[in-house]
Amino acid sequence: MKTKRWFVDVTDELSTNDPQIAQAAALLRENEVVAFPTETVYGLGANAKSTDAVKKIYEAKGRPSDNPLIVHIADISQLDDLTGPAPEKAKTLIKRFWPGALTLILPCKPGALSPRVTAGLETVAIRMPDHPLALALIRESGLPIAAPSANLSGKPSPTKAEHVAYDLDGRIAGIMDGGPTGIGVESTVLSCAGDIPVLLRPGGITKEQIEAEIGPILVDKGLSDQNEKPISPGMKYTHYAPTAPLAICEGSPERIQHLIQEYQQGGRRVGVLTTEENAGVYSADYVKSCGRRAQLETVAAELYDALRSFDEKKVDFIISESFPDTGVGLAIMNRLMKAAGGRVIR
């Protein structure tokens, strides 16, 4: 399949009259799959009402079929068609954070969506992305749009259109290139299906921000305990992984430098993932700096691009610094732990 590529100048005034958006939306209505930017990562969109369309997402990504998709909407009025009445706390969060990097799990209206979207669950994940291009595309399609991250299953999520093309060129109908995404890690997934909301995946909107609005929430045990099964099906898979094995080291830069030398003496090419503050400390086969530790948002924004860059450098082993698990640091550490398959050097 020839993958069409549109380059879109993203402005707040992007309208649905844009001919490129009209073309992409037409493909979505024809049940084809189109990648587009959101404020978190690029998504791989398809008509959430059509099983034919949704199947193409799973095929293009090589995604396990028991892992449900997030449905993206552009207007609150679309919610009524997809879910039962939202609990009060969910309503508060919607008012405060939509459009934005918060996905809510709500009871699904029977028959509203292709059963492939929810992977047979009675709940559905919904979010309204905060990106003018995503919103214009969804609006113009007139559909709820199912969209996982637009990467091959297991690879880091794409934060640039080039990442999408690298993974999926020839496998999907089109890619809308709107430049790099802003937040860089995926949305926060919060279950509002029970009495007390449960954090299933940390992301762009922090736990602290959510609790400031609705009080204490629970955190899925499966996020921190290797022996617990995560509630969110997607969280059980290895993810975001570069080709070379990665370990997170909790020690000082000096300790990490010592480790690098040990591995090099064993004949291995070693890469290190660090930040601007410490980059000068290391001597390794590849030193990749990723944002500033003093402002963790900058680390989140560059993390996936940094992880992908190790594949080109042909290193045999990667050591990453660790990060505090407050604010967006919780999402950064969650993704790094998955990329490392849980390997931590203490």
Cα–Cα distance between 257 and 325 in angstroms, integer?
23
Give the residues lining the site for ligand TXA (CB under 6 A): 38, 40-41, 43, 67-70, 103, 105, 118, 121, 123-125, 129, 147-149, 186-187, 189, 200-201, 232-235
> Residue 201 CB, nearest distance to ligand TXA (Å)?
6
Q: What is the DSSP string of 60-87?
A: HHT--TTS--EEE-SSGGGHHHHBSPPP
> Residue 67 CB, nearest distance to ligand TXA (Å)?
5
Cβ 345 vs Cβ 321: under 8 Å: no
Which residue's beta carbon is nearest to the bound ligand TXA? Answer: 234
> Residue 331 CB, nearest distance to ligand TXA (Å)?
10
Out of 31, 149, 206, 274, the residue judged to bind Mg ion by CB under 5 A: 149
Cα–Cα distance between 178 and 184 in angstroms, integer?
14
Give CA separation, 193 vs 29, 83, 89, 111, 203, in Å: 30, 11, 11, 18, 19
Does 320 contact Mg ion by CB under 5 A?
A: no
> Residue 55 CB, nearest distance to Mg ion (Å)?
17
> Residue 264 CB, nearest distance to ligand TXA (Å)?
35
Cβ 267 vs Cβ 299: under 8 Å: no
| Cβ proximity to Mg ion, 272 vs 333, nearer residue | 333
| Cβ proximity to Mg ion, 61 vs 89, nearer residue | 61
> Residue 191 CB, nearest distance to ligand TXA (Å)?
6
The option from Mg ion, ligand TXA, none interacting with 125 (CB < 5 to 8 A, set by class) reads ligand TXA
Does 40 contact Mg ion by CB under 5 A?
A: no
312, 307, 324, 315: which is closest to 273 by C-alpha? 307
Per DSSP, the three-state class of 338 is helix
Q: How many residues bind Mg ion (CB under 5 A)?
A: 1
The option from Mg ion, ligand TXA, none interacting with 33 (CB < 5 to 8 A, set by class) reads none
Does 322 contact Mg ion by CB under 5 A?
A: no
User: What's at 253, amino acid-wise?
Assistant: P
Q: What is the DSSP string of 265-326?
A: HTT--EEEEE-TTTGGG--SSEEEE-SBTTBHHHHHHHHHHHHHHHHHTT-SEEEEE---SS
Segment interacting with Mg ion (CB under 5 A) among 95-103, 147-155, 217-225, 240-248: 147-155
| Cβ proximity to ligand TXA, 33 vs 259, nearer residue | 33
Contact code string over 100-139 relative to Mg ion, x by CB under 5 A: ----------------------------------------
Contacts of 77 (CB under 8 A, 6+ apart): none
Segment interacting with Mg ion (CB under 5 A) among 83-91, 149-157, 192-200, 307-315: 149-157
Buried b (16+ CB within 10 A) or exposed e, 280-315: eebebbbbbbbbebeebbbbbbbbbbbbbbbeeeeb
> Residue 32 CB, nearest distance to ligand TXA (Å)?
17
81, 140, 69: which is closest to 105 by C-alpha? 69
| Cβ proximity to ligand TXA, 118 vs 275, nearer residue | 118
Sites of contact with Mg ion (CB under 5 A) = 149
